[in-house]
Structure 1
Amino acid sequence: MDRLSSVLSAFRPKATSISALHCARQGEHLALSADSSYWLYLVTGGLSLTAQENSRTELKEGDGVWLATGQDLSVSLIQGIHGQSTLLVCEFDFATKALNPLLDLEWQWVKVDKGDEIAQQLAPLKTILLTESLQPRCGSQVVTERLAEAYLVQMLRLFIQHQKIELGLLAGLSDTRLARAIVAIHEQPQQAWQVASLADQAGMSRSVFSGLFKSTMGMSPMAYLTSWRMRLAAQRIKNGDRNLAILSDELGYQSEAAFRRTFKKVIGVTPGDIGRQARL
């Protein structure tokens, strides 16, 4: 399995909403759910986006920004821009931030400028997406949602290829050595992995591997292994897998009790809580 598919097979993005925000005055408010991931693309005009913690970015026509998790944004026209600015807003259900390691990030904004090589490679797909979303035709909703999902996957692939991200899972997957160890964890979470065996997967010494993994991923190899197992378990429980004895065994735990303790420590709630939430 390739680097990105090893994650997306467990946490597959689903487009839930594609809409256009038309801004003609200052002080617009854009409420983006913290449980969703977003791609914002400026179709026309120029806008300044400011989050509550004062993270800020400016978008000019053709620029876009990925928000790993949604925030409340203040939207203002850039000085000198006259008339209406149009912002394409693509919302994705990508599992919650608590579950999907792709969203467990120190950074919140990933900007793709119009002249960026990533933007150039995304251009053909972007053109079709804009046509379907801004000029609706028969079946456009379904077509647009699938196009948006393909667009996001292609964009994440390019983030990895161009080493766009400096910290977190996408950064780890951008390093071919670390990626071998990370994919091994993703594909075989039940294995009794140790730092030494993961370092062997990466083709590195144990000490160098441990240092690079922690500085890139923000956690130790064994902490990531535990986190991946528990997030995978939570996702499976959420999707209806309720047999904890089998699930704990398949994820490398010798007892259900040990699995339950680790789950509560990592996820913050019990497996039963996840199951009940899924049924609501």
Structure 2
Amino acid sequence: MIEISNLFFNYQNKEVLKIKNLKLDTSKISILMGANGSGKSTFLRILKFLEGDFSKNISYFGNFKPNNKQKREIYLLFPEPILLNRSVRANFLFTLKTYGIKEDIEERIKESLMFLNLDESLLSKHPNELSSGQSQKIAFAIALSVRAKYYLLDEPSAFLDKNTTLLFKKAILKMHENFNTGFLIASHDKHFLDSLAQKKLYLHSGEILEFENTNVFELENQGVKFCNFIDFSNCKKYKDFKKPPSKIAIDPYKISFFNSKN
């Protein structure tokens, strides 16, 4: 669990983040949405200790001052692949060594390549011999070989074609299934996110809003009545919705208003 309280961040005299209270379940796949420039990337960088000192505001796994081993449990993957000027295998080995991993090296490498449908022959290649798609996959495979507790993915599908996006989704689900790995995924790609999300977060005006990944249209058989703001033709009179236990379910892509039966 990562717990955040009273986190405020300014950039060029502008308040970018103002998060009063937030808990991130590091065993879940969560998604983070928000407009361009809303601060999603900044938030991920803060969580990875790359922006400012927030040791009084963020608790990692119950510790406000995590040691180096605990810090390595958080892995940030940037939108564009970052590979060292050496072979793909050497890139794997360097990252695993950096994360203090000395055992099961070959198993980790083979497994992560398999997750992304990559041939082992690529291990001898140099980054400049790889296509852009291969570089994206290799960078993600290297990340997965670490088997971190919590991954921060910044626009992971930004430069991917449809097939590679599907591979990424399958790899994320496989990591979650096999190792109980958690993910916080910042993205604009609704199709990439919808089938992954166990929890949704939305960053707006510096604040993070939480909402459950529940399809309200599936709740009608459970005694829930609803209407959306686009078409009120089948809705009750609006005054009826003022009575409890009314709730508003807000999704950036769908806005629905529904009322449970009394």
Q: TM-score w.r.t. structure 2 length? A: 0.28
Structure with greater strand percent: 2
Of Structure 1 and Structure 2, which has the larger fraction of its residues in helix? Answer: 1
TM (norm. structure 1) is 0.26
